[in-house]
Structure 1
């Protein structure tokens, strides 16, 4: 039985990291954890959050979850885990320059994709459609469910018992939540307010931009390696095209891996430099004296410049046409979507097909409780396990 006590601040020693800016998030000013715990004698609360995320089952499963390519399509392509590690590296490096709390930025970066389903956004779309009548599915909301309830690693409470600031960053790294709030977030927020309508701290804002930098650059890498588009086509792309031409003009014809590595390195450098320059400009204008003033600024203080933002969006548009909607990727997406829909349909009406521990938490066949359990079960699957379960239940092979 999980402890249901209210948060009661911090217990134990506090840390005063040197070299932090006034607008950074300070671990000794943390709002604490939902279930009070003694503080570590050797780690700040945000270092502890990062470590808990790295050791979680949900993070481990990201190794076998699709980024763009399904796992069996090759060992060279990114998975959700390698993507998350790249986001964490960029977020940590940028936070160091901005004198932020690097550990908090890293924790948010590592946690930002925990809630993804098998087969990436395709699985999310399929699960959202299948569960529309019980509130649908949102990967950010599911990430919160994982770290607040579904991870069972500790005797005294469900979840990972992360700090308020890490939870805030997980839920709000893309900005304030307005309009329709996913039910898992709304329910948690009613218990412990995450101040959904304000901006998060700068560490979470930097993590969100690092996500953009990581996936735009590594999707170019993966797309070129997979032959979804050519270097000649890439030369027409904004942001990447001019850099590709510079490399070709300077070095001539390069081995593919050297060309791709050079291009990705330059693009990451350009985007990080722009992020740092624009963020420092905004900080100089706003002059926030605390993380509270960052949250109350009314706009993002970490940002790309207007020009870089437009170029990044245009590059996303290029990748959408040439990669995400490429006929090879689309064919796999359609088969994956059908697999998830069929799995959900049969398990919702036959919960006895679930593993015993999951089946024991179900209600009647096809009721809301059962559908919620099936949703959580499928969301936690890796690509390979989803295929394995499909074969077990339907007694037929499936190839994506």
Structure 2
């Protein structure tokens, strides 16, 4: 049973290209399945989450992160009686537009693409799903439902100044960018926060960037959760305590999200999903106390993980590879693979955007392999995390 304010596949606003309904799956289930079977989704297994093309089998990649986001999103959606399938589809697809090397790669592509409209991973997610994926004979993209595309476009809130990629699609399939998204998309954004806050913490501990004691001393939420798991498991070794801490803290944040969202929904009493979109503020969210605690944890991770010297040592080489690839391929498109070369537009900005599409689809390892094949050389700094 769905809540009245949940997204209902039977009332979907449809697809850009009409299709016959499936006999056994609703619109959102089909969207989720199309995302999982896409080429872009498979490539996430070798794309940076925090560490560049990690050698360690236990560190997260974009793929494992997306799966973990989906698990958290589904669990919370079930409790709130939101649509689990739409929530899962949004969680699985939310990072599809990331280029190789994470935010470093995105920054470089944005700089190189500045003369032709720029680059942003959220807009590229929409472009990937509506234009670049080519798995159907009758149309480009995956032809996802309006609700899935709307949620991906607006999961972080209304979009008042869309980039060229999102604006281009919105011109042919209006996603109502000025409003908030439905509750499932709002939930997907918070599930993403819960996942990467805790799993990046886990990876940082595993990599030895900081200790349990150091993070507990700096972040009150972690100290509180660590005290709780130590009381439950006295004498447990640090690696077991770290796993218990991450699990306990995910539960604490999810419980807070459920309780605060339930409170907001009770106050708003939305009669349908459009009432959530038109509420003027997010309906899904943390309490004020948890928002502050989550910001504390993010500050710690930025200072002690994302900007740790061992991670920073990879930023310049990764940026250099991304920038050089764009410069070489844009300067001489004959270097493109035959299928990409055959589809190269003859004029700008489409020409540069085609090059950026090719690079943005690369995995970390394919970017490095292509760079080396084109004559480049990259030496990872001693002690860098790869």
Aligned residue number for residue 55 of structure 1: 37
- Is 2:165 the counterpart of 1:184? yes
Alignment partners' CA distance in 1, 2:281 and 2:48: 33
User: How do residues 230-269 of structure 1 correspond to structure 2 at under 5 angstroms?
Assistant: 230-236=211-217, 237-269=219-251
Aligned pairs, number: 380
Aligned 8 A contact 1:53 1:59 in 2: yes
Aligned residue number for residue 342 of structure 1: 324
Aligned residue number for residue 194 of structure 1: 175
Cα 1:364–1:28 shift into 2, 3 Å:
closer
Match of 1:215 among 196, 200, 224: 196
Query: How far is the alpha carbon of 1:126 from its aligned partner?
Result: 1.2
- Is 2:305 the counterpart of 1:327? no
Alignment partners' CA distance in 2, 1:344 and 1:44: 41
Q: Give deviations 1:48-99, integer Å, cap 9, x for gaps.
A: 0000000000000000001001223311100000000011011111010111
SS in 2 for 1:239: helix
Alignment partners' CA distance in 1, 2:22 and 2:31: 11
Unaligned runs of 5+ residues in structure 1 are 1-18
Alignment partners' CA distance in 2, 1:137 and 1:267: 35
Alignment partners' CA distance in 2, 1:154 and 1:231: 49
TM-score of the pair, normalised by structure 2:
0.96
SS in 1 for 2:22: coil
Aligned residue number for residue 210 of structure 2: 229
Aligned residue number for residue 20 of structure 2: 38
Alignment partners' CA distance in 2, 1:45 and 1:370: 34
Deviates more, 1:236-245 or 1:290-299: 236-245
Query: How far is the alpha carbon of 1:370 from its aligned partner?
Result: 2.4
Alignment partners' CA distance in 2, 1:301 and 1:373: 38
Alignment partners' CA distance in 2, 1:154 and 1:256: 50
| Structure with bigger RCO (C-alpha 8 Å, 6+ apart) | 2
Alignment partners' CA distance in 1, 2:318 and 2:250: 31
Deviates more, 1:125-134 or 1:146-155: 125-134
User: How do residues 62-77 of structure 1 correspond to structure 2 at under 5 angstroms?
Assistant: 62-77=44-59
Alignment partners' CA distance in 1, 2:167 and 2:376: 40
Cα 1:192–1:223 shift into 2, 3 Å:
same
Deviates more, 1:229-238 or 1:278-287: 229-238
Alignment partners' CA distance in 2, 1:240 and 1:334: 32
- Is 2:368 the counterpart of 1:383? no
SS in 2 for 1:41: coil
Aligned 8 A contact 1:68 1:324 in 2: yes
Alignment partners' CA distance in 2, 1:368 and 1:289: 45
RMSD: 1.3
User: How do residues 281-296 of structure 1 correspond to structure 2 at under 5 angstroms?
Assistant: 281-296=263-278
Alignment partners' CA distance in 2, 1:388 and 1:105: 35
Aligned 8 A contact 1:53 1:107 in 2: yes
Query: How far is the alpha carbon of 1:118 from its aligned partner?
Result: 0.7
Alignment partners' CA distance in 2, 1:230 and 1:183: 43
Query: How far is the alpha carbon of 1:247 from its aligned partner?
Result: 2.6
Q: Give deviations 1:123-169, integer Å, cap 9, x for gaps.
A: 11111111111111110100000110100001011000000000000
Query: How far is the alpha carbon of 1:248 from its aligned partner?
Result: 3.1
Aligned 8 A contact 2:112 2:326 in 1: yes
Alignment partners' CA distance in 2, 1:378 and 1:30: 34
Alignment partners' CA distance in 2, 1:368 and 1:359: 16
Q: Give deviations 1:243-298, integer Å, cap 9, x for gaps.
A: 12333344344334311210011111110000000000000000000001111111
